[in-house]
Amino acid sequence: MFLRSSLFVITLMLALFSLSACTSQPSNSDSDGQNFKVGTPSPGKSIVYVFDRVFFLEAMRQAKFMLHLNGNEMGEMTNDNYYKLEVWPGDYELLEVVPRSQFLFMSRNEFVGAKARIDVSKAGEVYALAFTSGGSTGLIPWEKVATELSERTLAKSFSASETARARRLDGAKWEGPSKGIKPHGVGTATYPDGRIYRGFVDKGQLTAQGRLEFSDGRVYKGQYSYGGEPSGQGLLTDKEGNVIFAGKFFHGKPYDGARLENGVPVFTKYRYGKKVETDPLILAEQNVAKQDEKAMASVGQASTNIAKDIERIKEIKRDAQRDFDRREAEFPSQCKCTFKLCLTQNYSDQSYEERRARKKAKAERDRACREWRAAGGSRESRQETLERDLAASDQELASLLSAYEKAEKRDAMLRRQKAAELASTQKARIAEAQRKLEIMQAEALEKQRASCQGKEHYCGCFAFMSKERQKDALSCTQ
């Protein structure tokens, strides 16, 4: 008992001696200390120095503590080190955690020794945070702990991109400030396919206050869907800054709008991201060609109808000869029991439906046999009857062939006349169709111009900006 008490007293004295040597009171001096030199934050960011401040009896602890930032393990916290975190403005959660492997008995969860939630509201500041037995000091000016930090070594320095709370934005890697768990502020989002968004993000939503750069040099500004795709009104330019399209986008692709040619807005249409032909002359020629094709298809159809009758007669002849050969080959043996009494076998295990089907099939066969027998008593007489029928079909066929030749000549003449008629009016019809298309496109442009009245700075209305403003295509902000 005395030995245990003595060991406890000795241990307690060592702890007090260690505490007096390692944990001086925080200094209010602006001095950097002997070894510690304060860092300068990068533009738009702040610095937070994090360390573990040892108090009474904590010097005797044997457990290993790990620093966690927003659920990510950053490294081991000891009594003689500190961490430098460069962060974007936003809120963060810092934890001092004992890993499961440190417990005597395995635990399902890690043990949280201390927790701190901080809100870095401004950029360009330098803060410090010390974990204590009661939790943490919260964000404090670094000058107050400069002496303590000077007696420690830097464990690791983390950049802002490593400490950002919201690292993902619609599948992109986000580098910028956050608000809650969502990106919020001016930053950069890099997508796996090479696209890069630079600019302002409003609570996780891309805005026209930024620009989406494609790997081939094209640049988009405008509205977006929640998937990060261009959707709504927007502007697309090539790598030289020339306007490719301004107007409505759908599922990341141009839809309806206008492009600029020599500074003049021109009606433009896209479908599924591919440009649709909108030249009035080309469209007029295509429309008139389709109309002429339809008109020619309705002319000279008499010979076509006669040709169908000729094929019908040929098919009748083929069917008559085929049926005659089949009957003469099968019926002498099949019709034996129709005209003579034959013994038949009945199956007792057959169902009512099966017996009924057999009876129906026999009745049908007997009817066909009687018709075959009535056609003539000998094959020769039946052959003569067939030949008379085929001769009548040949005679009808010859008449149709003669009529077909006459109809074909008449149809050819009608087609030539119709083609000449259409050719004589083709230019006038193309001109009229072109005029209607130009009016329709002009009305569509005018409708878009009217909707953009007073909104020329909108990205979807860029085609209607003044020529002076058109020099800076990406100046649109909405």
Per-residue pLDDT of the chain (478 residues; tens, 9 = 90+): 332 333 333 334 444 444 343 333 333 333 344 467 888 998 888 999 999 886 544 544 556 788 888 878 888 888 889 999 998 888 888 888 877 666 555 455 666 778 888 888 888 899 999 988 778 888 999 999 998 898 899 999 988 777 765 557 777 888 888 877 788 888 888 888 888 999 998 888 888 888 899 999 998 888 888 777 888 888 888 888 777 788 888 888 887 776 666 666 777 777 766 777 878 899 899 999 999 999 888 888 888 889 999 999 999 999 888 888 877 776 666 665 666 566 566 666 778 888 888 788 778 777 777 776 666 556 777 788 788 888 998 899 899 999 999 989 998 999 899 999 999 999 999 999 999 988 988 888 777 777 666 665 666 666 666 555 545 555 565 5
> Is residue 133 in some structural domain?
yes
Q: Domain count of the chain? A: 2
Do 87 and 150 sit in the same domain of this protein? Answer: yes
Q: Domain ends where: 145, 163, 181? A: 163
Do 127 and 23 sit in the same domain of this protein? Answer: yes
Separation of CA 150 from chain center: 53
Contact status, residue 36 vs residue 148, Cβ threshold 8 Å: no
Do 428 and 307 sit in the same domain of this protein? Answer: yes
Do 431 and 284 sit in the same domain of this protein? Answer: yes
Token look-up 């027998």 returns 373
Contact status, residue 267 vs residue 463, Cβ threshold 8 Å: no
Whole-model pTM over 0.85: no
Do 452 and 315 sit in the same domain of this protein? Answer: yes
> Is residue 199 in some structural domain?
no
Do 153 and 222 sit in the same domain of this protein? Answer: no
Do 246 and 113 sit in the same domain of this protein? Answer: no
Do 155 and 64 sit in the same domain of this protein? Answer: yes
Q: Domain ends where: 163, 185, 201? A: 163
> Is residue 253 in some structural domain?
yes
What amino acid is encoded at 8 in this protein?
F
Cα separation, 83 vs 89, in Å, equals: 18
Do 98 and 240 sit in the same domain of this protein? Answer: no
Contact status, residue 130 vs residue 13, Cβ threshold 8 Å: no
Residue 122, number of CB atoms within 10 A of its CB: 7
> Is residue 349 in some structural domain?
no
What DSSP state is assigned to residue 379?
H
The C-alpha torsion from 233 through 238 and 240 to 246, rounded to 10°, is: -30
| Dihedral sign of CA atoms 267, 270, 274, 278 in order | negative
| Residue 470: strand, helix, or coil | helix
Do 298 and 428 sit in the same domain of this protein? Answer: yes
- Please choose, from the candidates 230, 253, 26, 251, the residue with its C-alpha nearest in 3D space to the C-alpha of residue 143: 26
| Range(s) of the domain holding residue 101 | 16-163
> Is residue 470 in some structural domain?
yes
Q: Domain ends where: 123, 145, 163? A: 163
Do 230 and 316 sit in the same domain of this protein? Answer: yes
| Residue 320: strand, helix, or coil | helix
Q: Enumerate helices (H) and strands (E) in the chain, giving the number of each.
A: 8, 23
> Is residue 408 in some structural domain?
no
Residue 60, number of CB atoms within 10 A of its CB: 11
Phi-psi region of 97 (alpha: psi -120 to 50; beta: other; left: phi over 0): beta
pLDDT at 83: 94
> Is residue 450 in some structural domain?
yes
Burial of residue 111, with CB atoms counted within 10 A of its CB: 0-12 exposed, 13-18 middle, 19 or more buried: middle
> Is residue 192 in some structural domain?
no
pLDDT at 289: 93
Do 36 and 149 sit in the same domain of this protein? Answer: yes
